[in-house]
Amino acid sequence: MDEQEVAGPEAAGAPAVPPVPTGAAGETQRLLSSRIVALLVGTVSALGSFYLLLPIVPLYAAAPYGTGNGAAGVAAGLATGTMMLSTVLTELAMPGVLRRFGYRMAFALGLVLLGAPAAVLPVSASMVLVLGVCLARGAGLGIVAVAGTALMADLSPAERHGEGLGIYGVAVGIPSIVCLPLGLWLQLQVGFGPVFVLGAALSLLTLAVVGALPGRTTRGEHAGGGPAGPLRGGLVRPATVFGAVTLASGVQLTFLPLAVPTGSRQVAALALLAQSCVTPVARWTAGRYSDRHGSAGLLMPAVLAAALGTAAVARVDSPLAVILGMGSFGIGFGVAQNVTLTLMLQRVPRSGYGRVSALWNLAYDFGIGLGAVGVGFLTGPAGYPACFALTAGVLGAALVVAWRDRSVQRPRAARSSSVEQAGRGP
């Protein structure tokens, strides 16, 4: 089956809507478990380290060049882009890593790689050192992202994937809400060094909860195969759409602190806070909706909200436009996170969850890295407002891809697998 529309019996009518799951006695299945709680705690802390330093490392890399010239933009873009490149390369190998070592060992390695290198950054702002740290931390992020997403999908009741992934989205959104603006604020108050040490500690201290994670998958081996496997069955289009949205995210996270007028970095912090607050709420709400009404109808509105928000951010001289624009982008980003992942999981059997997680996270991180590096080389000749406007245009093109995906049905095998799992707890 190649990347064509996959029609089930419902193709002639309304899209298939998964039933609201119930247990054997008609009660809604219990969604959380001790293993999921441990996973959420570990992921929140690990991503806290990531988000705390995400806007800070580019500033640190750009500091020797000032903040108002092309060299600073290139340095900042290379820092984010190098980390995302490392993340993507790691994610390519993750299905095999999970199959070989299991979740517990992989997650522990990811925490070490995210935390330990950050403690080295205060030694020097040399680009060689900064990029080396970004390579190591990117690998840690790739491990945590793929292992966490696949494990959450595996432990969640099959017919509550949308809500389960929504809760996961709320949890992983907490670090961005707190740590994105906190990192910028702390850097202004105490400088770079203490922020780097705090980022290292957040990840390394999380090793205490790794023992509660399962070593292997709990419902059959699904980590096998490479990420090229899911490039069938209607997965390419949602992954492409999501990659365009994350490209915009990489542009904003990397360059918004540099784009706002000098002395207005608090505006960038407030805008990032607005985006971080609405994104997890939108992701959870989309998950609740998709479990009851289906996901496909949410994809185009998500991209549209992200495009309009990015276009508003181009008004970098207007604090209100920047803050409201990031809020609109956050809504679209949150819905797109849930909808694209839910659609992709619906279109494969359970045995494909690990590979779908790798592909989805590849789209996530490749988009962020491409946005940071590509736009970094354009900031000098074009300026920040034009770069934000160009990014909004990329999202406009993604609307066409989302429109083409609207009629794709998940395969009957995937639907049957989900129904067979109804009534089983995690």
CATH code at 351? Answer: 1.20.1250.20
Give 316's contacts (C-beta < 8 A, 6+ positions apart): 256, 259, 260, 261, 322, 384, 385, 388
Q: Give the model's pLDDT for residue 359.
A: 86
Q: Which of 63-72, 328-337, 417-426 has the lowest mean pLDDT?
A: 417-426
Q: Select the more confidently predicted residue: 216 or 275.
A: 275
Q: What is the pTM of this model?
A: 0.67
Please tell me the predicted confidence (pLDDT) of residue 302: 93
Q: Quick one: what percent of the chain has pLDDT higher than 70?
A: 78
Asked whether residue 25 is domain-assigned, the answer is no
Residue 235 lies in a domain: yes
**Per the domain annotation, does 22 fall within a domain?**
no
Residue 115 confidence (pLDDT): 92
What's the whole-number mean pLDDT along residues 381-386? 84
8: left (phi over 0), alpha (psi -120 to 50) or beta: beta
CB–CB of 238/338 below 8 Å?
no
pLDDT of residue 267: 85
pLDDT of residue 169: 76
Most confident range (mean pLDDT) of 141-155, 235-249, 397-411 is: 235-249
pLDDT of residue 175 exceeding 90: no
pLDDT at 183: 86
User: How far, in Å, CA of 96 to CA of 222, rounded?
Assistant: 10
* Local confidence band at 160 (pLDDT 50, 70, 90 cut-offs): low
Residue 416: band (very low, low, confident or very high) from pLDDT cuts 50, 70, 90: very low
pLDDT the model gives residue 413: 40
Query: 314 or 289: which carries more pLDDT confidence?
Result: 314
Q: Residue 147: which domain range?
A: 32-419
Q: Which of 326, 102, 297 is closest to 218 using CA atoms? A: 102
Q: Mean pLDDT across the chain, nearest whole number?
A: 78
Instruction: Give residue 168's pLDDT.
Output: 80
What is the rounded distance in angstroms from the CA atom of residue 282 to the CA atom of residue 343? 16
Dist CA 235 CA 222 (whole Å) = 17
Q: Is the pLDDT score of 10 beyond 50? A: no
As a whole number, mean pLDDT of residues 318-337 equals: 92
Of residues 380, 302, 374, 366, the one with CA closest to residue 338: 302
Mean pLDDT of 387-402: 92
Nearest partner of 110 among 140, 81, 136, 131, judged by Cα? 140
13 within a domain of the structure (yes/no): no
Which segment of 37-46, 51-60, 259-268, 387-396 scores lowest on mean pLDDT?
A: 259-268
Per-residue confidence band for 124, with pLDDT thresholds at 50, 70 and 90 = confident
pLDDT given for residue 21 in this prediction: 41
User: How large is the average pLDDT for residues 192-213?
Assistant: 89
Q: How far apart are CA 59 and CA 321, in angstroms?
A: 23
In a domain, 339, yes or no: yes
Is residue 318 pLDDT above 70, yes or no? yes
Dihedral sign for Cα 118, 124, 125, 129, please: negative
- Total number of domains in the chain: 1
Average pLDDT over residues 162-184: 79
**Is residue 6 domain-resident?**
no
Lowest mean pLDDT among 76-90, 323-337, 351-365: 351-365
Angle between helices 236-259 and 265-293 (to 10 degrees): 160
In contact, 117 and 133? CB cutoff 8 Å: yes
Instruction: Please report whether residue 238 resides in a domain.
Output: yes
Q: Give domain status of residue 426, yes or no.
A: no
Looking at per-residue confidence, does 422 or 32 come out higher?
Answer: 32
| Alpha helices per DSSP H over 156-225 | 161-190, 192-204
Residue with the larger pLDDT of the pair 333 and 290: 333
> For residues 329 and 313, what is the distance between their CA atoms, to the nearest angstrom?
9
Alpha helices in 314-352 (DSSP H): 319-346
Confidence band (pLDDT; 50, 70, 90) for 1?
Answer: very low
What is the structure's pLDDT at 161? 64
